[in-house]
Structure 1
Amino acid sequence: MLETQRKPVPRNDGGELDTATAFLAFARESVLKKTDGLTEEQLRRVLVGSGTTLLGLVHHLTLAERVWFGHHIAGGPDPGDVGMVVPEGRTVAEVLAGYREAIEESDAAIRAAGHPDAPSAVSIDGKFHTLRWVLTHMTSETARHAGHADILREQLDGVTGR
Structure 2
Amino acid sequence: MAETQRQPVPRDDSGELDTATAFLSFARQCVLKKTDGLTEEQLRRVLVGSGTTLLGLVHHLAGAERVWFGHHVAGGADTGDVEMAVPDGLTAEEVLAGYRAAIEASDAAIRAAGDPETPVAIPVDGKFHTLRWVLAHMTSETARHAGHADILREQIDGVTGR
Contact 2:60 2:81 in 1 (8 A): no
| 3-state secondary structure, aligned to 2:11 | coil
* CA deviation string 1:122-151 (max 9, x = no partner): 000000000000000000000000000000
Matches within 5 A, 1:104-143: 104-143=104-143
User: Aligned residue for 1:99?
Assistant: 99
TM-score by length of 1: 0.98
Change (3 A) 1:16 1:109: same
| 3-state secondary structure, aligned to 1:147 | helix
| 3-state secondary structure, aligned to 1:160 | coil
Matches within 5 A, 1:71-82: 71-82=71-82
1:3 & 1:159 partners in 2: Cα distance? 7
Contact 1:2 1:158 in 2 (8 A): no
Contact 2:45 2:53 in 1 (8 A): yes
* CA deviation string 1:46-70 (max 9, x = no partner): 0000000000000000000000000
Structure 1 residue 3, shift from structure 2 partner: 2.0
1:3 & 1:144 partners in 2: Cα distance? 19
| 3-state secondary structure, aligned to 1:69 | helix
| 3-state secondary structure, aligned to 1:3 | coil
User: Aligned residue for 2:158?
Assistant: 158
Q: Does 1:9 align with 2:9?
A: yes
What 5-or-longer segments of structure 1 have no aligned partner? none
User: Aligned residue for 1:147?
Assistant: 147
Structure 1 residue 82, shift from structure 2 partner: 0.9
- Structure 1 letter corresponding to 2:52: T
| 3-state secondary structure, aligned to 1:7 | coil
What 5-or-longer segments of structure 2 have no aligned partner? none
Residue correspondences, number: 162
CA RMSD between the two structures? 0.7
- Dislocated runs of 4+, deviation >6 Å: none
2:9 & 2:78 partners in 1: Cα distance? 32
Contact 1:70 1:105 in 2 (8 A): yes
2:120 & 2:108 partners in 1: Cα distance? 14
Contact 1:70 1:76 in 2 (8 A): yes
| 3-state secondary structure, aligned to 1:8 | coil
